[in-house]
Structure 1
């Protein structure tokens, strides 16, 4: 019986435009409210406008672009209501993940947490904000794995992505990385010691760090946020 060979998924021009814009928006090189030209991007990539429209549509689905008929497409501004909703969902998920991780953590899980913390320290030494952001994701993914709830990371990933631009802005402007690593270390130590109450306590403090950043950015860069609904 002949064995079939997996066919690699074919990339399209729309994929290239999507990846480029997603990176530009996620890293805050494109800021909330910035206008994006369909024609300019088509010329930049040497393609027709249709793939650009497709990429725009996908980014709008990810809540990163605002597409308005007959008006310029722009990078989506932050919504305080959506941020609050996202934080509520993530808090509930993280509590259960930390509880389960604290019960199930074994030597292998502890080693993975230690390796993650070392990598985060190295990112701080290099002052590499983007690398640290990736390692932050990885740390929470490891916790979900230890908890035996890999699927929980899918939810965390979705909710975290909604505030990541604020995280990047906060990290780059306020040098918050050392404090975040300290939070991660406290969480890891509690998980390794099978102390769910302490792990959850440290985890909730970790999530609350962004609150002050959000309020500060809302004051210093009010134009990054949607206008309040009257």
Structure 2
């Protein structure tokens, strides 16, 4: 009798290679500027070079790999210009999301956001940056849901992905979690009060926290940047 393959099992060799390299790049196991070889990756995973090439292409589309003809593929360095552009786009979208959320949030939405803050507080107490990062992602997605523009998070997620590695390089990460939780709390408080402009103000302060990180990395690791 033929075995039925469940959807969750339908991971191709491309998916496996992509997931591994994506995690290695985002977690900074592979640093900006590190070179990687199709042949080496194919040997490591026991696959042909085609699925590795396809995985590389997907990573390049996410702006995580730099693929150049006749040159070694390398982990994409940061770009101040591209980071600034991504943050500008995200700020514009999130500002409108917060304005709408202030108008549309219901008591049930307030309870949803309070529960999210409680989970974040637990992660802060545990000093668990990885969990906090996941909860931060979910929080901004929830804000789009509260604003009744779920699709807006698709835009935010793309822009967020482009600076996630920078966030990982933040100095004293655990110390920043409390500050970020305070930002989230201020946003929720403004939404509960229906104060759209205060919510936007709190949101923009929250997004500006990356400025110090960028300056510190530029000072300590300028070779991580290509401009």
The bucket for the TM-score relative to the shorter chain is over 0.9
Q: 1:212 Cα deviation (Å)?
A: 1.4
* Structure-2 separation of matches of 1:195 and 1:115: 21
Partner of 1:71: 71
RMSD over aligned CA atoms reads: 1.7
The answer to whether the 8 Å contact 2:18/2:56 transfers is: yes
Q: TM-score, normalised by structure 2?
A: 0.93
* Structure-1 separation of matches of 2:7 and 2:173: 40
SS at match of 1:175: helix
SS at match of 1:181: helix
User: Which segment is superposed worse, 126-135 or 136-145?
Assistant: 126-135
Q: TM-score, normalised by structure 1?
A: 0.92
* Structure-2 separation of matches of 1:86 and 1:219: 21
Partner of 1:164: 164
1:93 is aligned to 2:93: yes
Residue 219 to residue 148, structure 1, CA distance change in 2 (3 Å): same
Question: What runs of 5+ residues in structure 2 fail to find an aligned partner?
Answer: none
Partner of 1:146: 146
Residue 173 to residue 141, structure 1, CA distance change in 2 (3 Å): closer
* Structure-2 separation of matches of 1:48 and 1:6: 23
SS at match of 2:11: coil
* Structure-2 separation of matches of 1:116 and 1:42: 41
* 1:1-230 superposed matches below 5 A: 8=7, 10-170=10-170, 173=173, 175-226=175-226, 228=227
* Structure-2 separation of matches of 1:7 and 1:158: 29
* Structure-2 separation of matches of 1:135 and 1:197: 24
The answer to whether the 8 Å contact 1:133/1:168 transfers is: no
Residue 41 to residue 6, structure 1, CA distance change in 2 (3 Å): closer
The answer to whether the 8 Å contact 2:14/2:54 transfers is: yes
* Structure 1 consecutive aligned stretches of length 4 or more whose deviation exceeds 6 Å: none
* Structure-2 separation of matches of 1:145 and 1:36: 39
The answer to whether the 8 Å contact 2:103/2:196 transfers is: yes
Q: 1:40 Cα deviation (Å)?
A: 1.9
SS at match of 2:188: helix
Residue 37 to residue 209, structure 1, CA distance change in 2 (3 Å): same
The answer to whether the 8 Å contact 1:129/1:168 transfers is: no
Note the alpha carbon deviations across 1:90-124, whole angstroms, 9 max, x for none.
11101100001011111111111111111111222
Note the alpha carbon deviations across 1:188-226, whole angstroms, 9 max, x for none.
111111111110110011011111111111111111100
The answer to whether the 8 Å contact 2:102/2:192 transfers is: yes
